[in-house]
A and B are shown apart, each in its own frame.
Chain A
Amino acid sequence: MKTDWSLEMPPAYFTLESYEGGAARWCPGCGDFAVLTAVQKICRDEQLPPEKVVAVSGIGCSSRFPHYMKTYGFHGLHGRALPVACGVKSRRPDLKIWVATGDGDCCSIGAGHWVHAIRYNMDMTVMLFDNAVYGLTKNQTSPTTPPGRKTNTHPRGAWLPALNPLTATLGFSNVSFVAQTVDWNPVHLHATLAAAYRHPGTSFVRILQRCPTYSDDMFAEVQKDSNRLLLLEHERGVPAASGLQRMYAKRMEHDPLDMAQARALAEQQDTLPIGVLFADPSRPRYDEYTAQGLEMTAEDRLNALESELDRFAV
């Protein structure tokens, strides 16, 4: 018998360049660069064909993300990154979705979609670029701006307590993955996003991201004093790499299935937990439902529709 190799293709190997869609135009020193590189690295490590990847965003600095990925992309309306992503996933479950959304885009105008997208739990990775300010529109107060911080809309300082995206997301029904990381630690950023990518369901990752123009000092203290961060470790979370362990003196073994502890950690103000707070892969996924009948031909669909309509025949 001779072997049939006709179905095999010469192996294609994707490098970082395969996912680089042109020079990124963010301010020099912007934390978004790190996130972009981390995502491109994960795509490369997983050898995802670029045509099987979709980057979806809303409006904001970070939402330029799809332009810099040489994959499919959708630069949506303000606050509408998540519904667009859900729409793509609901009928194309084979695509890998990366959602780039900012603190304004997600937590303010898009907050309604945020609640439901988390509840739908479709398989995608949601990256919340949280620089605690509206940067694109030149320094206005965003939902996550800490009180007292002076902005163009609150020259005497923000008045309300900041919205905590972690506690909020952990409170939504059917939440399946919540993590937090920082843009200035590429190792942890990459590991956290990789864990989020591997998680089946909506993985919500809040990335503390510096805006070199308007909030460069926002995380200066945290950056300087690594004791302000608490490294969460678990075999089901971010793997405890020795390099990371050396960087952070404060470490804690946290089981991502422990919701009560996750909520308590998310509430903390003095030390910021980084790593996976909550992950439960068993939560129901709406895309498994919405993707039914994909193999139906147009004729099948028409027949199904007709038979449904026939039920109303008198």
Chain B
Amino acid sequence: MLPPPCSAPQSEVVAAVRRFHLLEQAQALPPLGPDALPALLAQFADEGQVRTDYPLVVRPGGEGPFVQSLGDALGAAAEVMADAKILKDNLRRLEKRIKDGLVSEGWPVLMQPLLQSAGAAMSEALGLAPSGVEQLTKDLEGLHTLFPKDALLVGLGPYTSTYLFVLAAHHEAAPRKKALSARLEKVVARVEQVLAVERKKDPSAHAAGALQSGMGGLGSSLVSPAALSSVLGKPRGATAMAPERRARLDEVLAVLRAWSTADDPAAILLHDGFLDPEAGRLSDGSVVERQEDPARAVVGRFDDEAQRWTERFRSLRIAELEVAGTWDEDHHAPWLQSFDWEAFSRDELMAMPPVVALASASDVAKGDFLAVSQALTSGRPVKLLIYAEPLKDPRAEGEVASGFRLELGYLGIGHREAFVLQSSVARPGHLAEGYKGALACERPGLMVLDGAATRGPTPRLGRWLYASAAVEGRAHPMFSYAPEAGGSWAARLTLGENPQPEADWVTWELPCQHRDGGPTSLSVEFTFADAALLDPGMAKHFAIIPGDCPQEDLVTMAEWLGLSDEAASRKVPYIWVNASGELWRAVVTRRLAWAARDRQAFWRLLRELGGVKNVYVEAAVAKAQAEAAAEIERRLAEQAAIHAAALEATRRDAAKEAMERLTAVLLDLDAGPLSTSAAPRPVVKAAPVAAPAAAPAVEAAPKAEAPKAEAPKPEAPDAEEPWVDSPLCTSCNDCVAMNPALFVYDGNKQVRIGDAKAGTFAQLVKAAESCPAKCIHPGTPMNPDEPGLADLLPRAARFN
């Protein structure tokens, strides 16, 4: 309903509204009742009727999606089941029962037992026929098997976001830990084998006692261990390993045996009284430590932890090299001496529990911000989980609305090296993906979360709507900045699941009823001021505007934020509120309006960096469009000019032709027939082409002939060198044994001629004859005086 008229004179009403807007003096205006809600949220006043993403189904083990809302998870599971009609028809009932049965303030609860009890209760309540009960029971059992045993339900409470981080760390590390555990087990077994073999080489292994225990009772009764020991000599065929190697193996084995990957915590959380670990049950599976200044301590704590893991991975490497038999003291020892966390492989680094500092934004902003800055540029994969209050400047003392807010997330981006996430429990999908991104990043990570919704007592409308309002009202825009993602802002910054990212403010249709009774609807923007209205502490920034207040100076908050400073100074912004079921305009103080303007500016900045409504892009598009339009214009003009010229030419030709025809007709009348309009052309003989210039009188001197080489004297032919068809050589050693200087092996162990003068022709012939592959060709004798050539030459001819 639209507001009823006010009894006061209109000018006074306007003055009162202005006074409230500028001076926050509320005396003359009706105050906002405690039940007043932003008009768009009034329909959700009954929290119990709102279906949210919570509880979440979390699968930390890695099977299926990591995070899903319970409704989605049940729906997806039911979809893969054949038949199961009763179950599918009652999925919402099952969901409601599970939700009601869940007692969690944000800590994880195993899903299977809850699913079981809720299923049984629902089955009973439905009052089915026996066959129906049987079918439903079977289907519920089927549904059970579709969820892993370690599936968890996480409700929305003060610890939800912390827990989701720990679970995400578990999820990311689980496969790596499994692989690491297998690697560890394998190498420990191999080192033990090596040492077991070594122990057998010890003379004591042949002592009577050892033999007796080896043979067992029956064996010892048949053979005398003492006698056997006396005849067994020193073990042969093996020498004991060097003592330093033995010591090295013993040392690494001790480190590796003491290492149980199952006992490693999922995360190491540092806080300064910010958490109540007992109430939050956070110490289950994680290490929770109290540190005076967590942001300062986080780097040192990481280094301590990394030192521990360095020892482990160094031992693992030594053991692996040892069992592979590739340990080289000179090569490996210096490397491993200077081995530290920076040399970890990615999988190794990811298997380490993340070291996380938890703090509130105000502690960080008012405390030692330099420590945060140093952590973010430390190069270590430390994480900072900061809880901010979307409606508040973290530096402000008490006062909420402020024209400026310190953006810790944006400051984080300024460090360039750090992964930055700003997210909220209102969008668990974005939050979980952001956590996974931060954990997968080998750099420092800064995560800014909406702490107002989850910390402290449950707010009006419940935590989820409260957190969602901060996202919808751009009080807590979500984004992630991944420095490794690429070389441009577009690649690095993603705006995630912010609603209607193109617009400054989210707009929804609000169905309402006019005072006259007819249904109508309003298009209402959800601004920062609307989100602020949910906070009871902000009530003083709103007052009801009487119904008959003149409209000229009133503009909606979104319109006001779109005005220039000059124009805005003359207008009064309002938002639509729902008080006691009626729709009213509520005037907003100037202070809150400025805060909204600051939020709008930040949102615009993010949007531009994220590539949504980027001014440069828009300018470039406009320029390109203008250029394209100009080009079209130019071409059109060009075509038009060509057309006009052609037209003119055609006209001219046509006129000329017409004149010629006319002339011809007139001439025909007088001069009788002409053979043709054109006189016959005389045949002009082309002049003969000028003869080529006479040959120069003086004959060019004959080319100086190259001095002729003296006719080669028929020299006595050179001796034909011996050669070997090496690829055919079977490496039989025959020729090499005969003369290792004359015949040598090449890199393939096939013979070639080494020094042809190092042997006699007789040897060459003999080798050729004995060669099984017949690949030696002796050529002709180098020494014409070698004795016996008369006999050798015909024998050699067979092989040349």
Contact = CB atoms under 8 A, between A and B. Distances in A.
A243 B345 contact: no
A33 B731 contact: yes
Interface string B596-639: 00000000000000000000000000000000000000000000
B749 A40 contact: yes
B193 interface: yes
Given A29-B770, A295-B189, A186 B750 contact: yes
A242 interface: no
A29 B772 contact: yes
A51 B326 CA distance: 12
A4 B193 CA distance: 28
Contacts of A37: 730-731, 748-750
A66 B282 CA distance: 65
B727 A34 contact: no
A292 to B, nearest CB: 15
Contact of B729 (A6, A186, A210): A186
Contacts of B339: 4, 6
B749 A4 contact: no
Interface in A15-47: 15-16, 23-24, 28-31, 33-34, 36-37, 40-41
Contact of A36 (B317, B343, B731): B731
B342 A212 contact: no
A16 B731 CA distance: 12
A297 B749 contact: no
Interface string A118-136: 0000000000000000000
A307 interface: no
Point out which of A15, A33, A298 has the most chain B C-beta atoms below 10 A from its C-beta: A33
A260 B697 CA distance: 88
B186 interface: yes
Interface in B297-317: 317
Contact of B727 (A2, A186, A296, A297): A186
A6 B728 contact: no
A312 interface: no
Interface string B719-760: 000000001111111100100000000011110000000000
Contacts of B417: none
B734 A28 contact: yes
Contacts of B196: 298
A186 B336 contact: no
Contact of B335 (A6, A34, A41, A296): A6
Given A33-B733, A298-B196, A7 B317 contact: yes
B748 A295 contact: no
Contacts of B410: none
A41 B749 contact: yes
A303 B356 CA distance: 43
A249 interface: no
B192 interface: yes
A34 B730 contact: yes
A1 interface: yes
A5 interface: yes
B727 A184 contact: no
Interface size class of A (residues with CB under 8 A): 35 or more
A1 B732 contact: no
Contacts of B731: 33-34, 36-37, 186
A290 B189 CA distance: 20
Contacts of A31: 730, 732, 772
A30 B729 CA distance: 12
A9 interface: yes
A4 B772 contact: no
A183 interface: yes
Given A1-B342, A30-B732, A297 B193 contact: yes
A187 interface: yes
Interface string A284-309: 00000000000111100000000000
Contacts of B771: 29
A153 interface: no
Contact of B772 (A1, A51, A184): A184
Contacts of A4: 335, 339, 343-345
B645 interface: no
A27 to B, nearest CB: 9
Contacts of B728: 185-187
Point out which of B196, B325, B729, B733 has the most chain A C-beta atoms below 10 A from its C-beta: B733
A220 B184 CA distance: 61
A10 B732 contact: no
Given A28-B770, A40-B749, A295-B189, A6 B730 contact: no
Contacts of A184: 730, 772-773
B335 to A, nearest CB: 4
Nearest to A3: B343
A186 B320 CA distance: 41
Interface in B308-353: 317, 320-321, 325-326, 328, 331-332, 335-336, 339, 342-345
Contacts of A29: 732, 734, 770-772
A297 B750 CA distance: 48
A210 B317 contact: no
Contacts of A9: 326, 328, 331
Contacts of B732: 28-31, 33-34
Contacts of A34: 730-732
B442 interface: yes
User: Lowest 10 CB-CB distances: which A-B pairs, in order?
Assistant: A34-B730, A4-B343, A6-B335, A37-B731, A33-B732, A28-B734, A29-B772, A297-B189, A2-B342, A37-B749
24 contacts: A1-B342, A1-B442, A2-B342, A3-B343, A7-B320, A7-B321, A9-B331, A10-B331, A16-B749, A28-B733, A28-B734, A29-B771, A31-B772, A33-B730, A33-B731, A34-B730, A34-B732, A41-B749, A183-B730, A184-B730, A186-B729, A186-B730, A295-B189, A296-B189
Given A6-B335, A29-B732, A187-B728, 10 more contacts: A6-B317, A6-B336, A28-B734, A30-B732, A33-B732, A34-B731, A34-B732, A183-B730, A186-B750, A243-B727
Interface of A: 1-7, 9-10, 15-16, 23-24, 28-31, 33-34, 36-37, 40-41, 51, 183-187, 210, 212, 243, 295-298
